[in-house]
Amino acid sequence: MEAVLYVSHGSRVEETKEEAVSYIHQVHQEVATPLFEICFLELAEPTMDQGIKRLVEKGATDITIAPVLLLSAGHYYHDIPDEIQAGVALYPNIRFKYGKPLGIQKRITRVLVDRIQEVASLQEDLHLVLVGRGSRNPETKASIEQIASWLGEEVGGAYVDVCYLAACSPTFEEGTRRAVLSNKRTIVIPYLWFTGKLIQTMNKRVESLQQEGVPITMTHYLGDHPIMIQALADRVHEAFVSEEWDQQMRVR
């Protein structure tokens, strides 16, 4: 029996887990395999090994691992593969496949435009600040910069500033400081999927600047926008027809 294991990041914030679970249920309506489970990499349960075990106990013979990740970084290249290898060792008769994270997709910039338009008019003279999570993997910074470039095209050629919450520079504090100096209305755009500690931190910074009289607003995160739902569903469908895990491991 074919099954999907959705692997989300995890958070200590209960609302984050609830949002992820609700979103994945919407995604799976577009996938419609008879069997699926949702698990988390850290800070929440069930864990990935628990998710695999549940699917096997329910009769799964083919398990597609669907990473609920925006970009390719440490979790995609190391943490999830390690867990899949452990699953292969425990269940040698199960066929595993491994999907891709969303990666950089031009259609996702449409989500960002919609989020901006929820709080501002594109006719205004805006200073846009795209905020990525950040990673030591150099792909992450290159990806966020490409997304910023596409976003600039979508909003009529406007310059989009970029900053990061961790591991990359410029930092979020530096990015918002530059925004203050711009003397324009600033729109902070989190390139994050769900709420959580990082969103809370960003909100506090933006609210502090607002209290100082700075014209700054933060958009909603990516969330369960219809494009986000379809994008992950498409990745799952792609994974269904990909090579089995042991073949992928030889490529790696």
Same domain for 69 and 22: yes
Name the pLDDT band for 12 (thresholds 50, 70, 90).
Answer: confident
Summarize the confidence of residues 223-237 as an average pLDDT.
97
Name the pLDDT band for 126 (thresholds 50, 70, 90).
Answer: very high
Q: Give every CB contact of residue 111 below 8 A, 6+ residues apart in sequence.
A: 222, 225, 227, 228
Strands (DSSP E) found in 120-250: 126-132, 160-164, 185-190, 216-218
Same domain for 161 and 63: no
Same domain for 205 and 112: yes
Is beta strand 35-40 parallel, antiparallel or unpaired with respect to 2-8?
parallel
pLDDT digits (tens, 9 = 90+) for 24-35: 999 999 998 989
- pLDDT exceeds 90 at position 138: no
Q: How much is the pLDDT for 249? A: 53
Go through the chain and tell me how many residues it has. 252
CB atoms within 10 A of CB 225: 18
C-alpha to C-alpha distance for 104 and 106, rounded to whole angstroms:
7
Which tokens is 225 given? 């926008």
Name the pLDDT band for 110 (thresholds 50, 70, 90).
Answer: very high
- pLDDT exceeds 80 at position 73: no
Domains identified in the chain, total number: 2
Assign residue 57 the CATH number of its domain: 3.40.50.1400
Summarize the confidence of residues 207-229 as an average pLDDT.
96
Contact 165, 198 (CB under 8 A): yes
- pLDDT exceeds 70 at position 46: yes
Same domain for 138 and 214: yes
The dihedral built from the CA positions of residue 144, 150, 155 and 158, taken in this order, carries a sign that is positive
Same domain for 194 and 180: yes
Summarize the confidence of residues 190-216 as an average pLDDT.
95
- pLDDT exceeds 90 at position 250: no
Same domain for 212 and 110: yes
Q: How much is the pLDDT for 43? A: 83
Q: How much is the pLDDT for 247? A: 55
Same domain for 10 and 89: yes
Q: How much is the pLDDT for 10? A: 85
- pLDDT exceeds 50 at position 252: no
Summarize the confidence of residues 16-39 as an average pLDDT.
94
Task: Output phi, psi for 213, to 5 deg.
Answer: 90, 10
Name the pLDDT band for 248 (thresholds 50, 70, 90).
Answer: low
Same domain for 92 and 113: no
- pLDDT exceeds 90 at position 11: no
Same domain for 121 and 79: no
CB atoms within 10 A of CB 205: 16
C-alpha to C-alpha distance for 94 and 39, rounded to whole angstroms:
18
Same domain for 153 and 129: yes
Same domain for 213 and 230: no
End-to-end CA distance of the chain: 27
CB atoms within 10 A of CB 244: 13
Q: How much is the pLDDT for 213? A: 92
Q: Residue 195: which domain range?
A: 106-218
Q: Give every CB contact of residue 227 below 8 A, 6+ residues apart in sequence.
A: 107, 108, 110, 111
Does the pTM surpass 0.85? The reply is: yes
Q: What is the mean pLDDT of the chain?
A: 92
**Buried/exposed 106-132: b ≥16 CB within 10 Å, e otherwise:** eebbbbbeebbeeebeeeeebbbbbbb
